[in-house]
Amino acid sequence: MKVLFVASECMPFVKTGGLADVVGALPKRIRESGADVRVMLPLYSAIDTKWREKMEHVLFFYINLGWRRQYVGIEKLELDGVTFYFVDNEQYFGRNYIYGYGSEEGERFAFFCRAVLEALPHIDFMPDVLNCHDWQTGMIPVMLEIQYRHKEAYKNIRTVFTIHNLQYQGIFQIGEIEEMLSLGDLAYTSDALEFYGMCSFIKGGIVFSERVTTVSPTYAEEIQTAYYGERLDGLLRARADNLTGILNGIDTDEYNPQTDPMIYKNYSADTFADKRENKLALQREMGLLEDPDAPLIGMVGRLNGQKGLDLVERVLGEIMATGAQMVVLGMGDNKYVDLFNWAQWKYSGQLAACFQMNHQLSHRIYAGADMFLMPSMFEPCGLSQMISLRYGTLPITRETGGLRDTVLSYNEYTGDGNGFTFLNYNAHDMLHVIERAISIYREEKPVWEKLATRAMRGSYGWDESAKKYLALYEELVKSPRGNEEKPPRKEKARKSAKKAEEKTEEYRQPDHKALVKLLGKDVAKKWDAITQCVEKNYDCESAFAPGGKNGVHECKFKKGGRSLATLYAKEGEFCVQIALGKAEREKFEAAQADFSEKLRQTYENAPAHRDGKMLTLSGMDTQEGELLQILSLKRKPKKEKA
């Protein structure tokens, strides 16, 4: 069996979260069962030179992305028996960051999805199963069904879509995505890609894939409820028969206290007493009071609300009053960075924090702490609790998602358990469980050691997960394709997409004479004034494309892939669209008095998406001076540059 994983990140090449750990580890384990599993990723500039130097150039080709003709390079690297392919394009991936913001992300990953499908015949690897991961790959099943399935080379590919975190959905303007992918109007119905007036990549993956998986059994149940479903719970309930939760694992070779080179002293369940040396060394390194009897609580991960840090903030004083120590490692929201900065000053010698991604220090915290706090609001799977169990550091967790599937609360009557849990998302419920754990740690040492050594002997690797994924792939490949009438109905959708593609191919950029004919002399004069104003004040490129639903022509001003403003022309009129992100909204609202009443009203009535707003201004009513004021919120004009 041939399986291709497609994802936006993968260890050891590039990582921002648990997705990278899964895509880095799972293919190796499935391959050990005899399947030919390969992985395809973007070739980010952030990937270390040591990996780039080992890559082999396979080929290059060009693809159409709306009016754009884009280069696609394919690089290859063999590692631990797995073949990794990298999609190269400097415009989209040659940057100093992995993920950005706004509509640009839609273009980057629309390109990636198209490039993956177009690359398959070129790399001589046509998979039996395409396993796409998270929203960045959600358009692959969509395009496969609408634009590629009828082609001989693609007709037998089966699709699996894996949700790692439903909160991240990839939501963009329908017009922008259609202009790039030419899927046709039938793709943007409520039973397909349309999501509250926008286009949702993750919804596309859920609707158009034959099977949907997520990263723990409990999370698969939770996302079918309104509380956890992120407004997709109805769709997920409708797909419940094809939705499977498979628990992630951890790399038990890397996270092995018996051989880990990053910790102070190696130990095992049989030499558990040596864990004490790791605790004392961690206390010294972090500037805590060296006290082997003080309960030491560790926290490693992103510092944001999802991780339950508002609960910690609420009762931090009470936690410190128990005499426990705390070590925090992570990066994230300024609110929580400020909290722990203040706390390590307030509780000097008792609490220490490090605000960076420090892989070695994370290993030392897992080995040196007595307890690991993870009070997440939601947690699709979670890896940290399994790592802490592997190191005999008992987790204190909320019963949600993968935490519920991996941590069993200690039962003092039966002796069962490997940690401590609470159910309600409540600070004092969490505090009660922390106090219970501290009490057992101090007063019942034999019980604590029994729980810790039991935790260390647990099974947290990928073997069981790999078996379940392989079984799912085998069942899918053997089953008849049952989604022939999946909405939108394929034949109609293909015809609609074909029509859209032909429209894009036939498109001709208008000359000035054609614009005057379309707009009329007076309106064209205003169009010229607006475009000249932008070109005079900004170093940017402009490009025409079909206007889609917004007009006959689109003229987009952008630099480095980032949109500044877009003009849409249709008969007798035109409009100007400007996307304002969160930071730009804050600037606008702080300076509202500087703008006209009409513009303020337009801003108030503009549709909001997440933290941003899309301003649509009548071209004839747009004043050049006010336009520059708005654009300066996004980027400084040339004259303001040093």
pLDDT band at 229 (very low <50, low <70, confident <90, very high): very high
Determine the Cα–Cα distance for residues 264 and 280; give it in Å rounded to an integer.
10
Phi-psi region of 80 (alpha: psi -120 to 50; beta: other; left: phi over 0): left
pLDDT band at 100 (very low <50, low <70, confident <90, very high): confident
| Domain 507-640 is found in CATH 3.30.60 | no
pTM: 0.76
* Mean pLDDT score across all residues of the chain: 91
Strand-pair partners of 212: 161, 243
DSSP assignments along 522-574, one per residue:
HHHHHHHHHHHHHHHH---EEEEEE-GGG-SEEEEEEETTEEEEEEEEETTEE
pLDDT score at 104: 86
Better-scored residue on pLDDT, 94 or 261: 261
pLDDT band at 35 (very low <50, low <70, confident <90, very high): very high
Is the pLDDT at 496 greater than 70, yes or no?
Answer: no
DSSP assignments along 226-273, one per residue:
TTTSTT-HHHHHHTGGGEEE------TTTS-TTT-TTSSS---GGGGG
Chain segment 346-390, per-residue pLDDT in tens: 999 999 999 988 889 999 999 999 999 999 999 999 999 999 999
**Domain 2-249+466-493 carries which CATH code?**
3.40.50.2000
Q: What is the mean pLDDT of residues 240-262?
A: 95
Determine the Cα–Cα distance for residues 129 and 481; give it in Å rounded to an integer.
13
pLDDT score at 642: 41
Query: Angle at the Cα of 319 (from 315 to 322), degrees rounded to 5?
Result: 145
Q: What is the mean pLDDT of residues 581-605?
A: 86
pLDDT score at 604: 87
Comparing C-alpha atoms, which of 190, 196, 200, 74 is closest to residue 142? Answer: 200
Lowest mean pLDDT among 57-71, 208-222, 325-339, 608-622: 608-622
Is the pLDDT at 487 greater than 80, yes or no?
Answer: no
pLDDT score at 16: 83
Domain boundaries, the chain: 2-249+466-493, 269-458, 507-640
- The reply to whether 490 sits in an annotated binding site is no
What are the b/e assignments for 377-398, b being 16+ CB within 10 Å?
Answer: bbbbbbbbbbbbbbbbbbbbbb
Q: What is the mean pLDDT of residues 153-174?
A: 95
Determine the Cα–Cα distance for residues 493 and 500; give it in Å rounded to an integer.
10
- Say which CATH architecture domain 269-458 belongs to: 3-Layer(aba) Sandwich (3.40)
Q: Do domains 2-249+466-493 and 269-458 have the same CATH topology?
A: yes
pLDDT score at 101: 74
| In the chain, % of residues over pLDDT 70 | 93
Better-scored residue on pLDDT, 439 or 503: 439
Chain segment 521-555, per-residue pLDDT in tens: 999 999 999 999 998 888 888 888 776 666 788 88
pLDDT score at 641: 43
Better-scored residue on pLDDT, 545 or 46: 46
